[in-house]
Amino acid sequence: MSARVLGALAVADFRERVRRPAYAVVLLAAVGLGYLAAPAAGAHWTIVNAGDYRGVYGSAYIGAVTALAGALWLSAAGFYVVRTAIARDEHTGVGQLLAATPLRTSTYLVGKFLSNLLVLGSMTAALAGTALVMQLARGESRAVHPVDLLLPFVLFTLPVLALTATAAVLFETIPVLRSGFGNVLWCFVALTAMIAGQSAGAPLGGLGVHVFAASVRDEFAAQGIRVTEVAIGLMYADDPPRAVGFSGVDFSAAFAGQRLVAVLLAIAVAAVPALWFGRFDPARAVVPAVPTAVTVTAVQPFVSYQMVLSKARVRRGRALARLVAGETRILVAGVSRWWWLGVAALVVAGAAAPVRASGPLLIAAWIWPVLIWSRLGTRAAEAGVEGLLGGYPSPVRRALAQWLAGVALTALVGAGAGARLAAAGDLAGWLAGVVFIPALALALGLVSRTHRLFQAIYPPLWYAVLNDIRGLDFMGALPGGPHPILVGGAAALLVTASLATVAARHARR
Amino acid sequence: MFELIDVTKVYKGQKRAVDGVTMRLGTGVVGLLGPNGAGKSSLMRIAATVTRPTSGRVLFEGTDTVAKPDALRRHLGYLPQDFGVYPNLTAREFLSYLAAVKGLSARSARARVDELLRLVGLAEAAKRPLGRYSGGMLRRVGIAQTLLADPRVLMVDEPTAGLDPQERVRFRNLLSELAADRLVLLSTHIVSDVESVADDIAIVAQGRLLRRGTPEQLLRAVAGHVWETVVAPETVAAVQARHMVSRMVRTADGVRLRLLSTTRPDPDAALVPPDLEDAYLGAVGGIREVAR
Task: Find the angle CA(B107)-CA(B110)-CA(B113) to the nearest 5 degrees.
Answer: 140
Distance CA A16, CA A12 (A): 6
Three-state DSSP class for A286?
Answer: coil
Given B89, B121, B145, which is nearest A388 (Cβ)? B145
Chain B stretch 74-133, residues whose beta carbon is closer than 8 A to a beta carbon of chain A: 74, 76-80, 82-89, 93, 96-109, 111-112, 115-116, 118-125, 128-129, 131-133
With residue A249 as reference, give the H or E element that holds it: none
If one counts every other C-beta atom within 10 angstroms of the C-beta of residue A216, the result is: 26
Residue-wise pLDDT for A290-310, tens only, equals 444 444 456 777 777 766 676
Overall pTM > 0.80 = no
Q: What is the DSSP string of A186-231?
A: HHHHHHHHHHHTTSTT-GGGTTSHHHHHHHHHHHHHHTT------E
CA dist list (Å): A464 to A127, A459, A460, A471, B241: 28, 8, 6, 9, 73
Alpha helices in A366-509 (DSSP H): 370-373, 379-383, 386-389, 395-413, 415-423, 428-448, 452-466, 484-507
Domain check: are A473 and A355 in the same one?
yes
What is the pairing mode between strands B2-11 and B15-25?
Answer: antiparallel
Domain of A412 in residue numbering reads as 320-507
**What pLDDT does A284 receive?**
67
Q: Is the pLDDT of residue B291 over 50?
A: no
Residues from chain B contacting residue A334 (CB–CB below 8 Å)? 87-88, 129
User: Across residues A266-290, what is the average pLDDT?
Assistant: 78
**What pLDDT does A293 receive?**
47
Q: Is the pLDDT of residue A288 over 50?
A: no
Helical packing angle, B91-102 and A320-332, nearest 10° = 140
Indicate the Cα dihedral angle A398, A401, A403, A404, nearest 10°: 180
Closest residue on chain B to A335 (Cα): B88
Three-state DSSP class for A467?
Answer: coil
- Tell me which amino acid residue A260 is: L
User: Across residues A338-348, what is the average pLDDT?
Assistant: 93
**What pLDDT does A307 receive?**
67
Q: Is the pLDDT of residue A483 over 90?
A: yes
In a domain, A314, yes or no: no
**Could you tell me the strand order of the sheet in which B76-79 lies?**
B76-79, B153-157, B183-188, B28-33, B200-205, B208-213
Residue-wise pLDDT for A23-39, tens only, equals 888 899 999 999 999 99
Given A291, A308, A326, which is nearest B134 (Cβ)? A291
Q: Which residue, among A225, A466, A212, has the nearest Cα to A363 in the 3D structure? A: A466
Distance CA B201, CA B214 (A): 6
Given A299, A385, A394, which is nearest B86 (Cβ)? A385
Distance CA A325, CA A337 (A): 19
Domain check: are A275 and A353 in the same one?
no
Domain check: are A220 and A337 in the same one?
no
pLDDT band at B29 (very low <50, low <70, confident <90, very high): very high
Contacts of A337 (CB under 8 A, 6+ apart): none
| DSSP 8-state secondary structure symbol assigned to residue A153 | I
Three-state DSSP class for A398?
Answer: helix
In a domain, A398, yes or no: yes
Domain check: are A207 and A111 in the same one?
yes
Q: E-assigned strands of chain B?
A: 2-11, 15-25, 28-33, 55-60, 63-64, 76-79, 153-157, 183-188, 200-205, 208-213, 226-231, 244-251, 254-260, 270-271
φ, ψ of residue A241 to 5 degrees: the values are -65, 150
What is the pairing mode between strands A242-244 and A53-55?
Answer: parallel
Q: Is B216 on the interface with A (CB under 8 A)?
A: no
CA dist list (Å): A321 to A8, A9, A177, B97, B120: 53, 50, 35, 11, 28
CA dist list (Å): B145 to B10, B40, B72, B97: 30, 21, 16, 10
Residues from chain A contacting residue B51 (CB–CB below 8 Å)? 390, 509
In chain A, the percentage of residues whose pLDDT exceeds 90 is 59
In a domain, A293, yes or no: no
In a domain, A79, yes or no: yes
Yes or no, beta carbons of B108 and A309 under 8 Å apart: no
Domain check: are A349 and A278 in the same one?
no
Q: Facing residues of A243 across strands?
A: A54
With residue A235 as reference, give the H or E element that holds it: strand A231-236
Domain check: are A22 and A168 in the same one?
yes
Closest residue on chain B to A508 (Cα): B52
Domain check: are A343 and A275 in the same one?
no
In chain A, the percentage of residues whose pLDDT exceeds 70 is 95
Distance CA A78, CA A12 (A): 19
Domain check: are A31 and A162 in the same one?
yes
Residues from chain B contacting residue A317 (CB–CB below 8 Å)? 103-108
Q: For chain B, what is the largest distance between any 2 Cα atoms, rounded to a whole number of angstroms?
A: 70
Domain check: are A326 and A411 in the same one?
yes
Counted residue by residue, chain A has a size of: 509
Distance CA A366, CA A344 (A): 13
Q: Which residue, among A151, A391, A105, has the nearest Cα to A250 in the 3D structure? A: A151
| DSSP 8-state secondary structure symbol assigned to residue B104 | B
Q: Which residue, among B182, B178, B148, has the nearest Cα to B60 in the 3D structure? A: B182
Yes or no, beta carbons of A308 and B73 under 8 Å apart: no
B31 neighbors B219 (Cβ within 8 angstroms) = no
B244 neighbors B260 (Cβ within 8 angstroms) = yes
pLDDT band at B278 (very low <50, low <70, confident <90, very high): very high
In a domain, A294, yes or no: no
If one counts every other C-beta atom within 10 angstroms of the C-beta of residue B151, the result is: 23
Domain check: are A48 and A106 in the same one?
yes
Superfamily of domain B2-214: P-loop containing nucleotide triphosphate hydrolases (3.40.50.300)
Domain check: are A366 and A226 in the same one?
no
If one counts every other C-beta atom within 10 angstroms of the C-beta of residue B7, the result is: 25
A431 min Cα distance to partner chain B (Å)? 28
Cα Rg for chain B, rounded, in angstroms? 22
Distance CA B183, CA B154 (A): 6
Domain boundaries along the sequence of chain B: 2-214, 220-291
Residue-wise pLDDT for B203-236, tens only, equals 999 999 999 999 999 999 899 999 999 999 999 9
In a domain, A313, yes or no: no
In a domain, A60, yes or no: yes
Yes or no, beta carbons of A314 and B150 under 8 Å apart: yes
Q: ipTM of this model? A: 0.79
User: Across residues A480-496, what is the average pLDDT?
Assistant: 95
In chain B, the percentage of residues whose pLDDT exceeds 90 is 61
Closest residue on chain A to B145 (Cα): A388
Domain check: are A327 and A265 in the same one?
no
- How many independent structural domains does chain A possess? 2
Contacts of B79 (CB under 8 A, 6+ apart): A388, B142, B143, B145, B146, B155, B156, B157, B159
Distance CA B32, CA A489 (A): 51
Q: In this predicted structure, which of A189-203, A290-304, A437-451, B49-63 has the lowest mean pLDDT?
A: A290-304
Given B52, B86, B150, which is nearest A383 (Cβ)? B86
Yes or no, beta carbons of B105 and A316 under 8 Å apart: yes
Yes or no, beta carbons of A333 and B122 under 8 Å apart: no
In a domain, A303, yes or no: no
